[in-house]
Structure 1
Amino acid sequence: MRASIESEDRGNSMKEQIKYGDDVLEIELPDDIIVDRVAPASHGGAKACHSLRDDHAEDTYEYLYGKIHQALIHASTRIEKCGKIVIACDDNTRVTPVKQLVPPIIDFADARGIPAEIIIAGGSHRKMTRMEREKKFDKAIMDRVEIMDHEWKEEAVFSNVGTIHAGDESIPLLLNRIACNHDSFLMGIGNIVPHSVAGFSGGYKILLPGLSCEETVRWVHYLISKFPSEAILGIADNPVRRTINSVHQHRKIDLLVNTVLDGSSRVVSLCLGNPITAQAQGASISRRVHGVPVNTPGDIVITDSVPESVDFWVVAKAVTNTKAFTRKGGHLIVFGPCDEGLSPMHGDALKRMGYDAPRNIRSRVKGGDIPREFLLEASHACQVGEVMEHCHLHLVASGLDVDAMASIGLHVITPARASSFVRELIEITRNEVTGRKPRVKIIHRGAEILPLQ
């Protein structure tokens, strides 16, 4: 199974559908252009962590249930000694199939009279609403176990478990007390995709930044400002991932349960066991599922932000992931509603800072113009700013005010104008390039795609 790229020398006008949150927007592309369609692989069926088999005989739920149950049986002596299971799980901005992964854990705990609880490892994200919890976990799970939020700004909920190194900085590692109790069997649940901060998600990322304090989260994220995106995104072993993995020296995850999903959100790999080795194996599989050769970059790249589009903080993943598909000086158009604006948690800081070239952001941090408490937002601004240095960035978003965003450096287009804007850009590009047709790349699941160069 491989991610795909299809090329078409377009001779007739045709409408393309772009995923836009829960809706679909249509854009009409003119004739006399070349269109490349880029997408992660889509190939259903549960697979073992070490291989992508071709058979689909097993029912996915039964396969996952059996494998997780088997892993818990193997660890039963340790679990019974601990007397409690704590499940650190990601939030609604991730598509991890927790409805399939959590039931075998609860059933195992219930059968042995061992209490189990879930803590949502949302890092700096806002709390999930009741409706979002029901969609993520299912009411049946919510009725069986307590599900707690991570209060990332509340000092009282943290324990100082040691010191980690983020680049040249030595910073205290403060983790949520619920995860720090060594009388609990700690499990981490998540999904592995290419990630612009960690190389790939998954593994100990569920603790750092998932269950870390504000100061720790800031410094780990700001570490990426020192590196170009090509040095981190899709690189399994990188400085940020090594910092994240160093958490194991202070608090081990007893059992990791990570998945890799295909381009249709179907499970293709279950990665169980040691958090470092299982995550690394999953990253290798994710590279095969989500990686697509860049080949000839597009003059214009059009991408959705699937699966994350609630605000620009998460839509920015599609921005950074698709940069390499866009030629230098070209145009990148990102579709994502951003119904909650820039970000409920970080929007005010971003409005004060604005978006700028990474070197300017770093200079402002060093000079004190951007205060220490904005380091997390500064790391985000550096990543977006790197893309804006490379190409022209355009956002199709109904949740972002056009004029307000222009004042901080972002170009926003309303959904109603999207199709005509694309046609205008194509005509401009047609006049700029000589001896060839304009090349347009259409990317699906832009927040998960991995450019291979």
Structure 2
Amino acid sequence: MGVADNPMRLRMEEAARIVGLNYIANLVSDYEGKIVGCFVGDVVQAHRGGCKLSREINAVSLPRRADIVLIDSHPADRDFWQSAKGFYSGTMAVRDGGSLIVVAPNPEGIADNHPNVLEIGYRPHAEIVRMVEAGEIEDVVGAAVLADVAQIVDRTDCIMVSPGVTREESERLGFRFAATASDALKLAFGKQGERATVAVLRHGGHILPLIA
């Protein structure tokens, strides 16, 4: 997150040049969903311009990574497929070995359109890659999400707070389960110690935490 010229983006832009894409139109919104900018033009230049404004609008500066991060996933909170953005944002604010608590309603559960996410569940990143390469997973998009989440789970104590996700489902994905944010904080302090530092972040589906 936060890297405009990441490898995937560069490959997309290369493909766009090959097929002759002449221009793009990108809208930039704030955490309330309001349009704050429109960038039209060259495939690369317009995108980078939008990225710059988005960073200015949505970046949140933190002095250091916290021992415990409590974050929501708003506005991406329909299901886990969307609310995983809270984990992606939160992992940028929590230290390795710290506790990451994501609070999200997930009224539609895990991911109805990607059933393999729950079927496969948590597995080490390397194993998911092996399964994809061996053709054991048909839904490679779902596998990509699992691979990303696995990297977070492997270095962070992840706790899920969600009325739309059961304890069994949460644990199958590699997360600890808590019924409330208060319960989740008790679990986190139990692991990190009573003097642990805490960062509380809102709009986790939109923000970009940056360490100063």
- Tell me the TM-score normalized by structure 1: 0.43
CA shift at 1:335, angstroms?
A: 1.0
Any gaps of 5 or more consecutive residues in structure 1?
1-232, 432-436
SS, match of residue 139 in structure 2: helix
User: Which amino acid in 1 is paired with 2:197?
Assistant: R
Structure 1 310/253 Cα, relative in aligned 2: closer, same or farther at 3 Å?
farther
181, 192, 195: which is aligned to 1:429?
192
How far apart are the structure 2 equivalents of 1:359 and 1:275? 33
CA shift at 1:310, angstroms?
A: 0.5
14, 19, 24: which is aligned to 1:250?
19
Structure 1 359/295 Cα, relative in aligned 2: closer, same or farther at 3 Å?
farther
How far apart are the structure 2 equivalents of 1:277 and 1:296? 32
Identical-residue share of aligned pairs (%): 27
Structure 1 328/379 Cα, relative in aligned 2: closer, same or farther at 3 Å?
same
340, 354, 363: which is aligned to 2:130?
363
375, 393, 403: which is aligned to 2:140?
375
- Structure 1 partner of 2:63: 295
- 1:190-247 superposed Cα distances (whole Å, 9 cap, x missing partner): xxxxxxxxxxxxxxxxxxxxxxxxxxxxxxxxxxxxxxxxxxx211112100122222
- 1:398-439 superposed Cα distances (whole Å, 9 cap, x missing partner): 11121233234333333xx332331343354335xxxxx321
User: Which amino acid in 2 is paired with 1:303?
Assistant: I
**Where does 1:137-156 land on structure 2 (aligned, <5 Å)?**
none
291, 304, 308: which is aligned to 2:72?
304
- Structure 2 partner of 1:446: 204
How far apart are the structure 1 equivalents of 2:125 and 2:42? 36
User: Which amino acid in 2 is paired with 1:300?
Assistant: I
How far apart are the structure 2 equivalents of 1:283 and 1:313? 23
- 1:341-395 superposed Cα distances (whole Å, 9 cap, x missing partner): 111110x211221122212211233344x33x12111110111011101211111
- Structure 1 partner of 2:183: 420
User: Which amino acid in 2 is paired with 1:412?
Assistant: F
SS, match of residue 324 in structure 1: coil
Contact 2:106 2:165 in 1 (8 A): yes
- Structure 1 partner of 2:95: 327
Structure 1 408/421 Cα, relative in aligned 2: closer, same or farther at 3 Å?
closer
User: Which amino acid in 1 is paired with 2:3?
Assistant: I
Contact 1:294 1:324 in 2 (8 A): no
- Structure 2 partner of 1:19: none
- Structure 2 partner of 1:406: 171
How far apart are the structure 2 equivalents of 1:382 and 1:394? 18
Structure 1 408/293 Cα, relative in aligned 2: closer, same or farther at 3 Å?
closer
How far apart are the structure 2 equivalents of 1:448 and 1:239? 21
Structure ranking higher on relative contact order (CA contacts 8 Å, 6+ apart): 2
How far apart are the structure 2 equivalents of 1:334 and 1:360? 25
User: Which amino acid in 1 is paired with 2:206?
Assistant: E
User: Which amino acid in 2 is paired with 1:314?
Assistant: Q
Which of the two has higher C-alpha Rg? 1
How far apart are the structure 2 equivalents of 1:421 and 1:239? 36
280, 283, 287: which is aligned to 2:48?
280
SS, match of residue 398 in structure 1: coil
- 1:27-66 superposed Cα distances (whole Å, 9 cap, x missing partner): xxxxxxxxxxxxxxxxxxxxxxxxxxxxxxxxxxxxxxxx
- Tell me the TM-score normalized by structure 2: 0.88
Contact 2:153 2:175 in 1 (8 A): no
SS, match of residue 385 in structure 1: helix
RMSD in angstroms over aligned alpha carbons?
A: 2.1
CA shift at 1:328, angstroms?
A: 1.2
2:48 matches 1:270: no
Q: Number of residue pairs matched? A: 210
- Structure 1 partner of 2:121: 354
- Structure 1 partner of 2:151: 386
User: Which amino acid in 2 is paired with 1:250?
Assistant: V
